[in-house]
Amino acid sequence: MLNHPLVLIPALGADERLWQPVVERLSAHVECRVIRGEGASIKAMADSVLEKAPEKFNLAGISMGGYVSLDVVLRGTGRVQGLALLNTSAIAAEPQRRDNSLRAIGLAESGDFEKAADIIAGAVALARPDITALAGKMVRALGVEVFKDQQRAVAERYDRRQELSAISVSTMVLVGDNDAITPPSLGHALASGISGARLVTLEDVGHFSALEDPDRVASALLGWLPRTKEA
């Protein structure tokens, strides 16, 4: 077992079920803890993760969980020993994405949460109805208030690209070549901004890579984790 636990942060609208298939494949190698960031901003979510995380840990975040992971590591506390960023980016929300989030909040506030949940779930894995169904269940399980908080957080997130050079821990960036929500080009740019970052591209994988191909995601994480093991 590796010396430091692996903290896994889910995406918007997702709970521990997003990471569960990967956790099952990694549990013999590293202690895994899924921690969902709570709050209506990326900063607040990062605060909550740090409150719940062990003193030292490896950190992996997917999509919105990647935004939270960047906020955590850029604080420079020394607690994060290694960083994995999956299906995510360092940019602020583009105008269209921000408008989409505001519309989703409007739907939820007008009593149309079911429609909002269907829209979000339908976007994550266009060719995988099984994953769409699970995504819908996760959104609904989190509820209306968490949904609105998360939409506000991603809509108002900061551009972190100019800060990436401050990251000094072992870092892996993973992209799916079929990711329609976070195109691979954004992951490439993220990796290029972090000194020594390892870029992994998964073919025929979309936005929820941890569910779509847990074997390859777990393998990529195992290939990164040993470099963060203490002597």
Give the pLDDT of residue 228.
57
Give the pLDDT of residue 221.
97
CA distance 113 to 139: 10
- For 202-216, what is each residue's pLDDT tens digit? 999 999 999 999 999
Give the pLDDT of residue 231.
38
pTM for the structure as a whole: 0.96
> Please, what's the b/e burial string for 190-225 (b: 16 or more CB within 10 A of its CB; e: otherwise)?
bbebbeebbbbebeebbbbbbbbbbebbbbbbeebb
Task: Supply 98's token pair.
Answer: 């921000």
The number of C-alpha atoms within 13 Å of 148 and in the hemisphere containing its C-beta is 11
Task: Supply 178's token pair.
Answer: 């079929």
Range 18-39 average pLDDT: 97
Share of the chain above pLDDT 70, in %: 97
Give the pLDDT of residue 135.
96
**214, 72 Cβ separation under 8 angstroms:** no
Residues 6+ apart with CB under 8 A from 54: 4, 5, 7, 33
CA distance 183 to 89: 9
> First and final CA of the chain: distance in angstroms?
13
**Superfamily (CATH H level) for 6-90+160-228:** Alpha/Beta hydrolase fold, catalytic domain (3.40.50.1820)
Domain ranges of the chain: 6-90+160-228, 95-153
User: Which helix (H) or strand (E) is 173 found in, with range?
Assistant: strand 170-176
What are the residue ranges of helices labelled H in 90-198? 95-109, 113-124, 129-142, 144-155, 184-192
Range 43-72 average pLDDT: 98
Range 74-99 average pLDDT: 97
For residue 86, list its beta bridge partners: 62, 174
Residues 6+ apart with CB under 8 A from 192: none
User: Residue length, the chain?
Assistant: 231
CA distance 19 to 156: 25
State the average pLDDT for the chain.
95
